[in-house]
C-alpha cells in the first residue's frame, strides 16, 4: 500500500485541482489539508515528511470532493479572512470579499472625522451577512454606537456568533429588512450596506461557487441590479442626520445608473464614487 506524506499528497492534489480548473490549486490544497489535519499551513512545511494515517487521508479526500464539486473553500473550512480576523461563515451566509474592505476603510475615515469633533456617531449596516463589515469598522474605530440588521435568520445567527467572538466594541444586531423597522426620523450619521446588486439575468453566468452555493438573496439585485438600492435610497433620507452619509457597495459598471438614480432623491446633495484596489468604482457615497 502506498504511503502518502504531507509533501506527496500536496503535490498530487495540486495537480488534481489544476486538472479540474480549481482556482489557486496549491493554496487550496494547503488550506484543505491543514483543515483535515487540524494544523496551521506553516505546520505542513515543518512536518512535510510526516506520513498520513488512513483516517486522515479519508478526511482529506472528503474535502477534495467537496471542492471539486465547486463548494467554496470558506464553506468547507467554516471561516473567511477579512481585515484582521478569520470570520465564521457557513452556507446561507454571503462570503466576505476583499473588494468590500474598501467599504470598511471609507467608513472608518468618515467616522474618524466625526470623532475629531467630539461627537458620538451612530452607525448602522443594512444586511450584515456574516457581520464582518460592521465588526471590522467597530474594531478599527471605537466610540460610535454600532447597529446592524439582517433579514436572513441564518445570516443573523452567524453575525451574532461573530460579534461574540471578534467584536471589541458593542455591536447591536436585530432582524430587519433594510430600514423598514426604524422610525423615519434623523438618527444616524452613517448608513452603509453591501446590498445585492447583480442583475438577475447575470446570475447564471457567475462562477458555480457563487451561483450554486451562495445565498441568492444576497446577490440578486433585480432586473438592473438596483432594486435594493432604490429601496435604501428611498428610506435613508429620513433616517440620516443633516450631513449624514449613506455608503453603498455597487457593481463595477453601475456608476452611470447610480448617478441617474440619485437625481430622483432630493435629499442627496452630494455624490462621490470611490475605487477599489483594482481601480473599479466600488462605492457610492451619498451625502444628505
Which residue ranges make up the annotated binding site? 127-131, 150, 178, 194-197
Binding residues for substrate: 194-197
Binding residues for S-adenosyl-L-methionine: 127-131, 150, 178, 194
- The torsion of the CA quartet 126, 231, 273, 241, rounded to 10 degrees, works out to -70
Q: Give the Cβ contact number of residue 99 at 10 Å.
A: 16
Q: How far apart are CA 159 and CA 144, in angstroms?
A: 19
- The alpha-helical segments, DSSP class H, found in the chain are 6-19, 25-37, 41-46, 54-68, 73-77, 101-116, 132-140, 153-166, 208-211, 227-239, 255-262
DSSP character string of 153-222 = HHHHHHHHHHHHHH-SS-EEEEE-STTTTS-SS--EEEEEE----B-GGGGGGS-HHHHTTS-GGGTB--
Task: Give the Å distances, CA to CA, from 190 to 30, 56, 101, 110, 167.
Answer: 40, 49, 17, 8, 19
123's enclosing H/E stretch is: strand 122-126
Contact 91, 213 (CB under 8 A): yes
Contact 95, 214 (CB under 8 A): yes
Q: How far apart are CA 138 and CA 104, in angstroms?
A: 9
Amino acid at each position: 500500500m502506498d504511503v502518502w506524506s504531507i509533501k506527496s499528497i500536496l503535490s498530487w492534489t495540486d495537480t488534481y485541482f489544476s486538472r479540474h480548473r480549481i482556482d489557486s490549486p496549491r493554496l487550496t490544497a494547503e488550506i484543505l489539508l491543514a483543515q483535515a489535519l487540524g494544523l496551521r499551513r506553516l505546520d505542513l512545511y515543518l512536518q512535510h515528511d510526516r506520513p498520513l494515517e488512513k483516517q486522515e487521508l479519508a478526511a482529506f479526500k472528503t474535502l477534495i470532493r467537496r471542492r471539486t464539486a465547486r463548494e467554496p473553500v470558506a464553506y468547507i473550512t467554516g471561516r473567511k479572512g477579512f481585515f484582521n480576523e478569520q470570520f465564521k461563515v457557513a452556507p446561507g451566509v454571503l462570503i466576505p470579499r476583499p473588494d468590500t474592505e474598501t467599504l470598511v476603510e471609507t467608513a472608518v475615515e468618515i467616522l474618524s472625522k466625526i470623532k475629531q469633533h467630539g461627537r458620538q456617531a451612530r452607525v448602522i449596516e443594512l444586511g450584515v451577512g456574516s457581520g464582518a463589515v460592521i465588526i471590522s469598522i467597530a474594531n478599527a474605530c471605537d466610540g460610535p454606537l454600532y447597529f446592524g440588521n439582517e433579514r436572513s435568520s441564518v445570516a443573523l445567527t452567524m453575525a451574532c456568533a461573530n460579534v461574540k467572538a471578534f467584536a471589541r466594541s458593542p455591536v447591536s444586531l436585530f432582524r430587519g429588512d433594510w430600514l423598514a423597522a426604524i422610525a423615519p426620523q434623523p438618527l444616524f450619521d452613517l448608513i452603509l450596506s453591501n446590498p445585492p446588486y447583480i442583475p438577475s439575468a447575470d446570475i447564471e453566468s457567475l462562477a458555480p461557487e457563487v451561483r450554486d452555493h451562495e445565498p441568492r438573496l444576497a446577490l440578486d439585485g433585480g432586473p438592473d441590479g438596483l432594486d435594493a438600492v432604490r429601496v435604501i435610497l428611498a428610506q435613508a433620507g429620513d433616517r440620516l442626520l443633516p450631513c449624514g452619509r449613506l455608503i453603498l457597495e455597487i457593481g463595477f459598471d453601475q456608476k452611470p445608473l447610480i448617478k441617474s438614480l440619485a437625481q430622483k432623491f432630493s435629499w442627496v446633495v452630494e455624490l462621490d464614487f470611490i475605487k477599489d484596489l483594482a481601480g473599479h468604482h466600488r462605492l457610492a457615497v451619498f451625502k444628505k
